[in-house]
A = this chain, B = another copy of it.
Amino acid sequence: MRVTADDKAGIARWRQIADSLRLDIAEGRLAGRLPGETQFAERFGVNRHTVRRALATLSEEGLLTATRGRGTFAAPRPSRIVYPVGSQSRFSENIGAASREPGGTMIASAREMASAELAEAFGCRANATVIRLELLRVADGAPLIVSTIWFEEARLAGIIPAYAEAGSLTGALTKLGFSGQRRLWTKVAAIPADPRDAEHLHCALSTPLIATTSLTVTAAGEPLQYARSRFLGSRVELVFDHTGEPV
C-alpha cells in the first residue's frame, strides 16, 4: 500500500483549519472581528465552503458568533487557571485561592494488587493490597482534573468512607489521624487524552493533557499516597516555586 508520510493525512481540511483557528483564538492571536470567509479561504488556499465548515464547528463550540452582513466575531478567551504545586499542594486550597468554587466527585474506587511501580513507591510487596480512588475535579462548572490516587490498605483501610464523609482528601486524612503530610516529588509529562479521560474531562480525544505523578509521605516520611493526575492542558497552568530549594 502506497502511504505518504504526511502528518496531516486522514484529517479533513476543514478540521485542520478549525484546529488552527481554535488555537489562534486560545492564544489570543485572533480576537474581536475576524477576517471575512473569502479572506480566510484565500489565506488557507481552500474554497470558501471549506472555511465555512471550519467556522461552523467553532461556532458550535461557542468560540465564534457569525451574523449575516456583520461578520464573524471571536468570543473573549478564558484565562488559564494557575495551579501552584509544591510540597504542600492541596486541590481545594489551590483552586479556592483562585477564587473559583472548587468541587469534586468520586468516579470510582477499588481494591487491587499493587503494580511493580506502585510497590516500589510504597516500598511494599508487589502483591500487597492497595486502594484506588478516582476523582474528577471541577472548577467553574467544567471538569478540570482527573486524579487516580492509590493508598496502601494496610495503612489507610478506611480512606474511602472517610472521603465520602469529609468531602475532601485532606479532610479524610485528618479524620484518620494523619496531618503534616508533604509531597516528595512530582513528575510531569504531556500526553494525549485517552477515551476514558476524554469522556470525564469533556474534551476531544488526543487533547493535550498534563499528566503528573506524585508521591506524598507522612510527617514521619513514610509513603502515604501515590497519585496520577491528568489536567486539561488548555485550562490550567502548573507553577513550581523553587525558592527555598537547597543550592
Which residues of A does B touch, CB under 8 Å? 1, 3, 5, 7-12, 14-16, 18-19, 23, 52-53, 56-57, 59-61, 80, 82, 85-88, 180, 182-192, 194, 198, 203-206, 208-210, 231, 233, 236-247
Q: How far is the CA of A7 from the CA of B201 in the complex (A)?
A: 13
Contact A209 B208 (CB under 8 A): yes
User: How close is A177's CB to chain B, nearest CB, in angstroms?
Assistant: 19
B1 in contact with A241 (CB, 8 Å)? no
Q: Is the CB of A23 within 8 A of B194?
A: yes
Residues of B within 8 A of A237 (CB): 187-189
B189 adjacent to A210 (CB under 8 Å)? yes
Are the C-beta atoms of B57 and A242 separated by less than 8 Å?
no
Contact B9 A11 (CB under 8 A): no
Residues from chain B with a CB closer than 8 A to the CB of A18 are 10
Residue among A11, A180, A242, A247 with the most chain B CB within 10 A? Answer: A242
Determine whether the beta carbon of A60 is less than 8 Å from that of B240.
no
